[in-house]
Amino acid sequence: MLPRVRAPELPQNYSWFNTDKPLSLKQLKGRVIILDFWTYCCINCLHILPNLKYLEQKYKDSLTVIGVHSAKFDNEKETENIRQAILRYDVEHPVIVDSNFRLWEEYAVRAWPTLIIIDPEGYVIGQISGEGNRDILDELIQKLIQQHQNKGTINFQEISLTLEKQRQPLITPLAFPGKVLATPTGLFIADSGHHRLVVSSFDGEILHLIGTGKSGLTDGAFSEAQFFAPQGMAYDAENQILYVADTENHTLRRVDLKRQVVKAIAGTGKQSHNINPHSGAGLETALNSPWDLVKVGNTLFIAMAGPHQIWEMDLESGIIKTYAGIGTEACIDGSLGESAFAQPSGITNDGQELYIADSEVSSIRGVGIVEPYQVRTVCGSGGLFDFGDVDGQGEDVRLQHCLGVEYAQNFLWVADTYNHKIKLVSLSGNCQTVLGDGSAGLQNGQGKNSRFFEPSGLSVLNSHLYIADTNNHSIRRVNLDTFEVKTLQFIGLCAPDVCIPSNL
């Protein structure tokens, strides 16, 4: 614990979200305050949001949580992008945009996420970095409330907030789609913000809605099943089975298209905090934010974003285990057992290597699945703070938090997410911008005359590239012969609770 020092006041002239007016520590006197220093790219920051929500609801008359968004990437400094992240991750507490790291420096913060605890008299009495501290915080808050109740220095009263989701409800047909998968059967869309899967034909006819649209972890029929922010998918066409990374449930799900049933096959529903390489039976092994999947033979390879590792699951035996990565957030090449990744969020393969969109080091990595089983960096410098928008060769390339990668015809398509671009990378590491002018927006057109807004997922089928254009709540289709970009329309698709399509 830190010695009691007076908490620096919050700037009133900065941008605020989830509140009608700026908040001050002076007006919040009498309440316990937690300042959450976060940045929306960071998986560890996202992991503590449910814990904060639990505490906010438990102590709503005496605790105020304030998010302090201190951006890592340039793209995260844009206020509209922060607003979209607040909507995507259902943040319900006030958030201040910490321009130029002013509060970060005033509170001597050193890492994301960091929580600063301020007592009802306005003194900083604690600082906790990292995730997994809910019980410690719960106990501390209880003690502070009791202590200040005895002193008569607590002010029990609920604070009224105006949330961004009240101003901008997620009523678009798709909400923050994270990934898309094109197969001869049709398009599979991870409608992440609506906690469901959408299956459509290529001309926009809805074939299936899988999931109720409410977050949860429920197996069963398509109309009963529940997901929580699903992301990557892999399809077994022969058996009509879709595998799903159910990211915020920390599970893998199996969707049987013939029987129209969803079933968990790996994960316990609880987040694992074990970063050491390990293995176990699928449903007995806790996972940590599986983000994307690819099926190679009878093996499912998983981009496990939480522990910064690549995992594998034997679909016959049901055993799941670490495949590569020591669990340290870094970019280390070499053998599977000595390699390191940084929030791997996209995965594809060419039969010889897996290719990984390694988002926090803004690099594309190659992982051998045949001898000599080596890990390499295809392009990007591999530094946690080396990012930008530079085409070129190998380590000279700069990407910005790339989330998607797709192999097709000896090239890699890359969703350079925070640069709002789609790039083409050769297996030897040459990277060139093909789509998008670099500005966030929704604009159809040809090649670089198009616009995207944090595209996150890619899939190629025949002569078309499909893009999950996440912050545009859209699926885009690119003709690979002409590089013409179009936005797909889905007939009769509605947000959950907005309308029920009559043909389903």
Neighbours of 80 (CB within 10 A): 11
- 73 neighbors 400 (Cβ within 8 angstroms): yes
- Whether residue 1 is predicted with pLDDT greater than 80 in this model: the reply is no
For 424, the enclosing helix (H) or strand (E) is strand 421-426
User: What does the pLDDT read at residue 502?
Assistant: 46
- 2: DSSP letter: P
User: What does the pLDDT read at residue 4?
Assistant: 73
DSSP secondary structure string for all residues of 369-400:
SSTT-EEEEEES---TT----B-EEGGG-B-S
User: What does the pLDDT read at residue 503?
Assistant: 42
Dump pLDDT digits (tens) for 399-436: 999 999 999 999 999 999 999 999 999 999 999 999 99
User: What does the pLDDT read at residue 500?
Assistant: 56
Dump pLDDT digits (tens) for 183-216: 999 999 999 999 999 999 999 999 999 999 999 9
Dump pLDDT digits (tens) for 312-337: 999 999 999 999 999 999 999 999 99
CA angle 326, 332, 336 (to 5 degrees): 50
- 356 neighbors 340 (Cβ within 8 angstroms): no
Dump pLDDT digits (tens) for 219-261: 999 999 999 999 999 999 999 999 999 999 999 999 999 999 9
User: What does the pLDDT read at residue 158?
Assistant: 85
Dump pLDDT digits (tens) for 440-483: 999 999 999 999 999 999 999 999 999 999 999 999 999 999 99
For all residues of the chain together, what is the average pLDDT?
A: 96
Dump pLDDT digits (tens) for 369-380: 999 999 999 999
Q: Which pTM was predicted?
A: 0.96
d(CA 68, CA 49): 13
- Whether residue 147 is predicted with pLDDT greater than 90 in this model: the reply is yes
d(CA 240, CA 263): 14
- Whether residue 343 is predicted with pLDDT greater than 70 in this model: the reply is yes
Residues of the chain above pLDDT 70, percent: 98
Dump pLDDT digits (tens) for 34-88: 999 999 999 999 999 999 999 999 999 999 999 999 999 999 999 999 999 999 9
